[in-house]
Chains A and B, each alone.
Chain A
Amino acid sequence: MQKEKAISVTGITKRFGEITAVDNVSFDVDEGEFFGFLGPNGAGKTTLIRMLTTLLKPTDGQAFVSSFDVVKDPAEVRRNIGVVPQAMTSDLDLTGYENMDLYGRFYGIRGRERKERISDLLDKVGLTSRSGDLVATYSGGMRRRLEIARVLVHRPKLLFLDEPTIGLDPQSRRVVWDFLEKLIEGDSMTIFLTTHYMEEAEALCGRVAIIDAGTIIALGSPAELKAQIPGSDIISLTLETLTDEVVRRVEELPFVHKVKTEDNSVRVYTDNGARNLPSLIDEVRKAGGSVQSATIHEQSLEDVFIHYTGKSIREEEAKKVSFLVGAGIPQKLGR
């Protein structure tokens, strides 16, 4: 028998006026999978998650979440899932405990059981000692942990996390990751996560869909995705001036799989970069180029993104000014 699908999406599309935020996206997520959507800000990740979690109506296409149609049966979908939105949504005027307690009641969980689950979850995210304080006094990392714990009170089979570590310092990010890893170990929970941090997708997700400008450009496990680009390492060289002659000579080297150029730098796809670097630099010199700097790194999902789109996720990130304001809906067309 085939595994039950936790999420099944066909041709889902969302347009805000002229802008197509999500364009004809289809994919399936199996039960128990840790599935990630990786892409730069503005790629359509939040819009997609909002359609799957019934907050936005799709312009076109279909989506089943926990076997319920998100358009026809939104109430059933909401009952079965837990969602941590990108923006911080815990109530500042209430204590950590009260935030969790309210959520439990919204899901209809009764007294004693609710209490037990809450104290257990608060313990897991390390907030027991602060649970009586107003959320207004929490740090960003604490708030995020509380919000993740809050959507687990009703024990959802399917958890959606929209950029769970955005705006967190590296240490808080580590804590959130550890907690998420612990979560999937025990339960048969399905987790759907969006992120623009490739380390996050690589470290946590079993399968990753890379999304750019509203469409999926690649889908597979991190290893499979990386296997699609030639070589295992990438050497980046910055030259004083990059000439066609340099590029031609480098491309002809036997250990070079592929070369990409950008302004005055070249990205060279190769295996065993550390051993090949000296001969690469020699070749550039012979062709009349002068190398100003060189870096070697192992391929990451970032390179997969560059391979398919010709641009880096980080560049895209730098262009966006504010990610917290109106994520998911273009401001002009939003609320």
Chain B
Amino acid sequence: MIRLLAVIERDLKKFRRNPVVLAMSILMPIIYLVILGNSFQGKLTGLPVAVVSRDTGPFAKRLVENLRAIEAGPATFTLIRMTDSREAIDGVRKGRYKGALIIPQDFSRRMTLKGRPEVGLFLDNTDGISSETIRNLVNSALASLGSPYVPIRERADIAHLRDINLYPKVDYYQSLVPGVVIMAIFLGTLTTGAFNLVMDRFLGIDESYLLTPLSKSHIVAGLIISGLSITTIIATVIFTVSVLITGIPLARAVQQCASIFLVIVLTTLCLLSLMFVILGRIGHPRIVGILSGFLNVILFFPSGAVYPVASFPGWLKTFARINPEAYAVDALKSILFKNAPVTSISGDLAFLAVFTAVMMTTSILAFKRTL
């Protein structure tokens, strides 16, 4: 016990003497929330679309009016009226517009004569998300051309959709909070725990520790415990700050916070032991640098923190099934947004616990007690 405590204390002391690391580990995930939240707003707005109408007939006017209505409403795009179609298409090529809609001269005539009316939509399809959105909106504007007037009152004979939200509304910033907490845990576990082993090895001071009666489990468990305390503190601070910034309502604050804390602790243990398996025999911090970017991508993006797991292709879904971050995100979302009781996330917690046990055993077995 005296030995285990000594390993832990050494690590905590060294961490405390380096306040820059602490400040960075807290600030970076929060900045990440701000940048990510502002760059993927969730829905698109203000896409510039050029419109050239060479038809003066009623249907062309209707179509433009429909588009104007979208511009005035959800403001997904901004219309730029132009007269020269060549200039409009050129503008798309040069990246000035995301799309150019060309309504030909005979559009209204063909509409009345049922003669296959067509409009041209030139899209910058290198930007898949924007072009897909514009195509869909133009299609819906075209679809409503067929009805002779815009219904003012709802008609009894048309089926209507009534959508019911099961949970309180979650805005985009709030929906990122679980991801930010996970990111904080990832960064914390990467720079504590096994990383200290790598640094000691790199500086050559591991030799002096290997010469003492410390056992494998003293070293691994000690570093995991110190990494756990550091990372848990960082992740809890970040969780609190981001809940305050985004204003997530917590109906049963005490229970919810306790459950969140449990998820944070378990996820931290899980990632710390995973890092021990991955970094256990590495002797140069540069390799950790390369691995960190890679690990972040393969663990974070398929976790469902940014994009729902359900929309992944099959192979990626399978990967998400063994990705501990996916279980952590699911647990955090359930507690934060659905106000779920701890029992409902028991599946997630069980997975994290089993994963931790397997990784920790592997890392102690694989740990080399010699040089």
Contacts and interface: CB of A to CB of B under 8 A. Distances in A.
- Decide whether A and B assemble into one complex: yes
Interface of A: 50, 53-57, 74-75, 78-79, 83, 85, 87-94, 98, 102-103, 105-108, 110, 147, 150-151, 328-329, 334-335
A93 B207 contact: no
Interface stretch (B69-77, B123-131, B186-194, B208-216): B208-216
B155 interface: no
A108 to B, nearest CB: 6
A333 to B, nearest CB: 12
A55 B10 contact: no
Nearest to A57: B370
Given A57-B370, A85-B207, A87-B204, A106 B13 contact: no
A75 B215 contact: yes
Given A78-B211, A98-B13, A110 B2 contact: yes
A335 B284 CA distance: 10
A98 B16 CA distance: 14
B283 A106 contact: no
A55 B211 CA distance: 7
User: Majority SS of interface residues in chain A?
Assistant: loop
Nearest to B207: A85
Given A85-B211, A105-B2, A93 B371 contact: no
Give the most central of B10, B17, B212, B214: most A CB within 10 Å: B212
Interface size grouping (class) on chain B: 20 to 34
Contacts of B370: 54-57
11 contacts: A50-B371, A55-B210, A83-B208, A87-B207, A92-B203, A93-B17, A105-B3, A106-B209, A106-B214, A151-B211, A334-B371
A228 B277 CA distance: 56
Given A75-B213, A105-B5, A107-B213, A89 B10 contact: no
B205 interface: yes
A102 B205 contact: no
Contacts of B283: 335
Given A56-B370, A335-B201, A335-B283, A91 B211 contact: no
The 4 closest A-B pairs by CB, nearest first: A89-B208, A105-B6, A106-B212, A83-B211
B116 interface: no
Interface of B: 2-3, 5-6, 9-10, 13-14, 17-18, 201, 203-205, 207-215, 283, 369-371
A232 B3 CA distance: 54
A109 to B, nearest CB: 8
A131 to B, nearest CB: 15
Contacts of B215: 75
B213 A102 contact: no
Nearest to B209: A106
A108 B211 contact: no
A78 B369 CA distance: 12
Contact of A89 (B13, B18, B204, B214): B204
A56 B207 CA distance: 11
B14 A94 contact: yes
A97 to B, nearest CB: 12
Nearest to B199: A93
A55 B371 contact: yes
Contacts of B211: 53-55, 78, 83, 85, 151
Nearest to B210: A55
Nearest to A80: B213
B204 A56 contact: no
Contact of A91 (B2, B6, B201, B205): B205
Nearest to A78: B213
Residue of A56, A75, A105, A151 with most chain B CB atoms under a 10 A cut-off: A105
